[in-house]
C-alpha cells in the first residue's frame, strides 16, 4: 500500500478536501466572487503575522513601545512583517467594503441568505474592532491618543462609563488597558471572527453563489463550472494581486509608522486611522449635548439600516433595476462616508498647526527610535529619552545642583535661578534687584552688591550697561550692539560705581567677579569647579567645589547646559 493510500484510509483527509472543493458555480467562475476568498486569505495572513509579532512584542505599559521599536528597528525583517500586518488591516477594511458592495449589487442579502448577510455584517464590525484594539498596542503617541478619543466617546454616551472603565481596566490608561486590548486583539476577536467565518462559509455553501440576475436557470445550468479549479484559480489570482499591493505598500512606506513612546503629559495631534476619519469628521458637526448624534445615533442608524436591508428591499425581482431603493440607501451611505473622509483629509491638509504638529511628532519619533537603539531603560517607553546626553546632564543637575539652583522652572531658591540665565533680561533684572530670590536673595554671603535704582540709571541706561557687560563676555554669548555698549561703558566708568568692585579685564580680581568672559561655558565650568577663585567670588563663595566630585566631562556638560539657557526660550518659542 502506498503511503498516501494508507494515510487516506486512516484519516479520510483527501476525500474531505475533495468534498470541500466540490462546489458547483452556476453561471461559471467570475471575478466578482473573489472578495470573500481574498478576505479569508487576508485574515489567515493577519493571524500568521500576528503570531510572529507576538514572538517579540511585550504587552505592558512599560515594555510595549520598547519591544515594538526593537522588533521594528532591530530584528531582521521585523519592519516588513509588522508593516504587512499594519497595512493588512487597511486591506481588510477595503476588501470588506468591496465585498459588501458586491453582495448589495448582486442582491445576495435577500432571502434565503439573510443570516449570511448578518454574519457578514458582524464580521465587518469585528474587523473594525481589530483595528481599534491593535492601534493601541505599540503604545506610541498616535495609538495612545487616538484610542483615548475612542474610549472617551464610549464613556460620554449615557451608561457608557462603566463599559469604558471595564475596557480600560480602570479610570485611566495603564498596564491593565494594554493587557485587555491585547487579550481582545489576539484571543477574543480572532476566535469570534473564526467562528463567524465558519458559519458564514457553511451558509454560503448551503445557498451557493448569487449569480447575475439576468441569466436564466437554463443558462446558469449550462455554464456551471466547478469551484476547483476554475473559481479557486481566479480567487488565488485575486489574493496574489492583493498580496502584491500589500508588499508594494509595505516597501513604499518602509513598514508601519511608529511614533515616540506614549507620553500622557504631551499634546499630540491625535488622528484615527484613515478608515475612521469619517466618524472623526462627523464629530466636528455635533457639539455639546448633540455629540451623541455623531457618536451613537447616526452610526447606530446605519447599523440598523444595514441589518434591516433584507426587509427594506421589497422588490420582487433580484435585478438591480428593480431594487433601486435599497441600492440608493447603500449608495448614499457610501457617498456620505467618502465625502466625510475627503473633508477630513482636506481640512487636515490645510490645517497648519496640525501639519506643524506632524513634523514635530515625526522628529520626536526619529529621536526616540534612534535613542532606543542603545536599549530602553526598564522604567518604560518615555524613559528612552534618558539615553539622550542632554537628559543625562539634566539628571546630573537634579542630583548635584537643583537643591539650590532652579533650571527649567524646577529646583531650590538658595542660589541664583538659571532660567533664562545670561540673557539680557536676566542681567537687567539682576542689576535692578540682586537680592531678589531669583538671584542672590537666598544666599547668605552675597549681600554686598547694591541694587541699581531707577534714579541712578534709567531703563534705557541700564540696557546700555547690560549691552556693555555682554560685550565683555565675548562673542560666545552673541553679537552685541557696539554703540550701545560704548554708552554702557561710559555709564559703567563714570556714573555708576560698578568698577569699585568688578574688574573687567581677564587676570585681574576685585571684590566681585571679574566680568571678562563672564557667562561663557568655560567661565561657568570654572565656577562649578571652584567658585572661590579670586577673580570669581573669592571669600564670599558659598557653593561647594565640584572639581573633585564630578568628572571634567560632567562639569563641561553641566556648564554647556546652563550656558544654553540663554537660547532655551528662543528655541521653545519657535
Partner 1 sequence: MSHKRDLPEEDAHAMPAEDLSPEAASRRKLLKLGVGALGCGLAAVPIVPALGYLVHPLRSGPGAEGALLAVGKREAFGATPVRVDLYSDRRDAWNRESNVKLGSCWVVERDGALQALSTSCPHLGCAVDFDAAENKFKCPCHRSAFDLEGKVEAGPSPRPMDTLDLEETNGLVAIRFQRFRQGVPAKEPV
Q: Which is nearer to partner 1, 80 or 428 (CB)?
A: 80
Question: Cell numbers 527649567 label which residue?
Answer: 408
**Residues 9, 15, 240, 338: which binds partner 1 (CB under 8 A)?**
240
Stretch that binds partner 1, among 56-64, 126-134, 294-302, 456-464 (CB under 8 A): 56-64
The footprint of partner 1 on residues 100-119 (CB under 8 A) is: 107, 110-112
In the complex, minimum distance from the CB of residue 146 to partner 1, in angstroms, rounded to a whole number: 23
In the complex, minimum distance from the CB of residue 388 to partner 1, in angstroms, rounded to a whole number: 13
By CB under 8 A, tell whether 220 contacts partner 1: yes
| Omega of the bond leading into 479 within 30 degrees of 0 (cis) | no
**Residues 77, 163, 304, 345: which binds partner 1 (CB under 8 A)?**
77
By CB under 8 A, tell whether 239 contacts partner 1: yes
List all residues 6 or more positions away from 480 whose beta carbon is below 8 Å from its beta carbon.
467, 470, 471
By CB under 8 A, tell whether 75 contacts partner 1: yes
Grid coordinates representing 529 are 569647579
In the complex, minimum distance from the CB of residue 149 to partner 1, in angstroms, rounded to a whole number: 28
Cβ burial, residue 287 (10 Å; 0-12/13-18/19+): exposed
Nearest to 157 by CA among 314, 344, 299: 299
The footprint of partner 1 on residues 153-212 (CB under 8 A) is: 207-208, 210
Q: Tell me the site size for partner 1, rule CB under 8 A.
A: 58
C-alpha span between 153 and 150 (Å, rounded): 5
In the complex, minimum distance from the CB of residue 134 to partner 1, in angstroms, rounded to a whole number: 17
In the complex, minimum distance from the CB of residue 279 to partner 1, in angstroms, rounded to a whole number: 31
Q: Which is nearer to partner 1, 80 or 286 (CB)?
A: 80
Grid coordinates representing 169 are 481596566
| Spatial contact of 110 and 323, defined as CB atoms under 8 Å apart | no
Q: Which is nearer to partner 1, 81 or 477 (CB)?
A: 81
Question: Cell numbers 566681585 label which residue?
Answer: 512
The footprint of partner 1 on residues 500-519 (CB under 8 A) is: none
Torsions phi, psi for 505 (to 5 deg)? -100, 145
Nearest to 204 by CA among 304, 310, 94, 103: 103
DSSP character string of 80-118: HHHHHHHHHHHHHHHHHHHHHHHHHHHTTTSTT-HHHHH
**Residues 8, 32, 80, 302: which binds partner 1 (CB under 8 A)?**
80
Q: Which is nearer to partner 1, 194 or 375 (CB)?
A: 375
HEC string for 509-533: CCCCCCCCCCCCHHHHHHHHHCCCC
In the complex, minimum distance from the CB of residue 104 to partner 1, in angstroms, rounded to a whole number: 14
Nearest to 276 by CA among 122, 82, 128: 128
Nearest to 99 by CA among 187, 39, 31, 19: 39
Contact map string, positions 356 to 395, toward partner 1, x by CB under 8 A: ----------------x-xxxxx--------x--------
Contact map string, positions 317 to 356, toward partner 1, x by CB under 8 A: xx--------------------------------------
Torsions phi, psi for 261 (to 5 deg)? -60, 150
| Spatial contact of 365 and 254, defined as CB atoms under 8 Å apart | no
Stretch that binds partner 1, among 69-77, 168-176, 465-473, 494-502 (CB under 8 A): 69-77
Q: Which is nearer to partner 1, 193 or 376 (CB)?
A: 376
Binding site for partner 1 (CB under 8 A): 22, 24, 26, 41, 45, 48-49, 52, 55-56, 58, 63, 66-67, 69-70, 74-78, 80-81, 84, 107, 110-112, 207-208, 210, 217, 220-222, 224, 226, 228-230, 232-233, 236-237, 239-240, 243, 247, 316-318, 372, 374-378, 387
Amino acid at each position: 500500500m502506498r503511503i498516501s493510500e494508507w494515510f487516506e484510509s486512516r484519516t479520510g483527509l483527501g476525500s474531505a478536501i475533495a468534498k470541500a472543493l466540490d462546489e458547483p458555480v452556476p453561471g461559471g467562475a467570475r471575478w466578482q466572487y473573489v472578495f470573500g476568498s481574498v478576505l479569508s486569505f487576508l485574515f489567515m495572513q493577519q493571524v500568521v503575522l500576528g503570531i510572529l509579532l507576538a514572538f517579540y512584542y511585550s504587552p505592558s505599559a512599560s515594555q510595549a513601545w520598547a519591544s515594538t521599536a526593537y522588533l521594528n528597528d532591530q530584528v531582521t525583517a521585523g519592519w516588513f512583517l509588522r508593516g504587512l500586518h499594519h497595512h493588512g488591516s487597511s486591506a481588510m477594511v477595503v476588501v470588506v467594503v468591496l465585498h459588501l458592495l458586491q453582495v448589495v449589487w448582486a442582491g445576495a442579502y435577500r432571502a434565503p441568505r439573510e443570516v449570511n448577510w448578518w454574519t457578514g455584517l458582524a464580521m465587518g464590525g469585528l474587523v473594525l474592532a481589530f483595528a481599534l484594539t491593535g492601534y493601541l498596542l505599540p503604545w506610541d503617541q498616535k495609538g495612545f491618543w487616538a484610542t483615548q478619543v475612542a474610549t472617551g466617546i464610549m464613556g460620554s454616551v449615557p451608561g457608557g462609563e462603566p463599559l469604558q472603565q471595564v475596557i480600560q481596566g480602570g479610570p485611566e490608561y495603564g498596564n491593565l488597558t494594554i493587557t485587555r486590548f491585547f487579550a481582545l486583539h489576539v484571543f477574543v476577536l480572532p476566535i469570534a471572527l473564526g467562528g463567524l467565518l465558519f458559519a458564514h462559509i457553511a451558509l454560503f455553501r448551503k445557498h451557493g453563489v448569487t449569480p447575475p440576475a439576468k441569466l436564466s436557470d437554463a443558462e446558469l445550468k449550462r455554464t456551471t463550472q466547478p469551484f476547483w479549479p476554475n473559481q479557486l484559480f481566479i480567487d488565488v489570482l485575486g489574493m496574489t494581486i492583493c498580496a502584491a499591493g500589500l508588499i508594494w505598500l509595505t516597501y513604499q512606506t518602509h513598514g508601519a509608522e511608529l511614533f515616540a513612546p506614549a507620553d500622557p503629559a504631551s499634546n499630540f495631534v491625535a488622528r484615527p486611522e484613515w478608515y475612521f476619519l469619517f466618524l472623526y469628521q462627523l464629530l466636528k458637526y455635533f457639539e455639546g449635548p448633540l455629540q451623541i448624534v455623531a457618536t451613537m445615533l447616526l452610526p447606530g442608524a446605519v447599523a440598523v439600516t444595514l441589518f434591516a436591508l433584507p426587509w427594506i428591499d421589497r422588490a420582487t425581482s433580484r435585478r438591480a433595476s428593480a431594487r433601486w431603493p435599497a441600492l440608493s440607501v447603500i449608495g448614499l451611505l457610501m457617498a456620505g462616508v467618502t465625502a466625510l473622509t475627503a473633508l477630513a483629509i482636506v481640512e487636515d491638509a490645510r490645517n497648519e498647526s496640525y501639519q506643524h504638529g506632524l513634523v514635530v511628532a515625526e522628529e520626536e519619533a526619529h529621536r526616540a527610535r534612534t535613542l532606543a537603539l542603545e536599549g530602553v531603560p526598564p522604567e518604560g517607553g518615555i524613559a528612552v529619552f534618558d539615553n539622550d546626553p542632554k537628559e543625562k546632564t539634566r539628571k546630573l543637575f537634579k542630583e548635584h545642583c537643583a537643591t539650590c539652583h532652579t533650571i527649567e522652572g524646577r529646583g531650590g531658591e538658595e542660589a541664583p535661578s538659571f532660567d533664562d540665565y545670561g540673557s539680557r533680561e536676566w542681567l537687567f533684572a539682576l542689576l535692578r534687584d540682586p537680592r531678589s530670590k531669583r538671584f542672590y536673595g537666598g544666599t547668605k554671603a552675597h549681600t554686598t552688591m547694591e541694587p541699581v535704582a531707577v534714579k541712578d540709571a534709567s531703563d534705557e541706561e541700564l540696557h546700555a550697561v547690560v549691552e556693555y557687560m555682554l560685550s565683555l563676555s565675548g562673542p560666545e554669548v552673541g553679537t552685541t550692539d557696539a554703540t550701545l555698549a560704548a554708552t554702557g561703558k561710559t555709564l559703567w566708568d563714570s556714573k555708576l560705581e560698578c568698577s569699585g568692585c568688578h574688574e573687567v579685564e581677564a587676570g585681574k580680581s576685585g571684590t566681585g567677579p571679574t566680568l571678562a568672559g563672564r557667562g561663557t561655558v568655560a567661565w561657568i565650568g570654572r565656577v562649578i569647579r571652584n567658585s572661590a577663585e579670586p577673580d570669581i567670588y573669592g571669600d564670599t563663595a558659598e557653593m561647594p567645589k565640584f572639581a573633585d566630585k564630578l568628572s571634567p566631562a560632567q562639569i563641561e556638560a553641566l556648564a554647556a547646559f546652563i550656558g544654553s539657557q540663554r537660547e532655551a526660550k528662543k528655541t521653545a518659542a519657535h
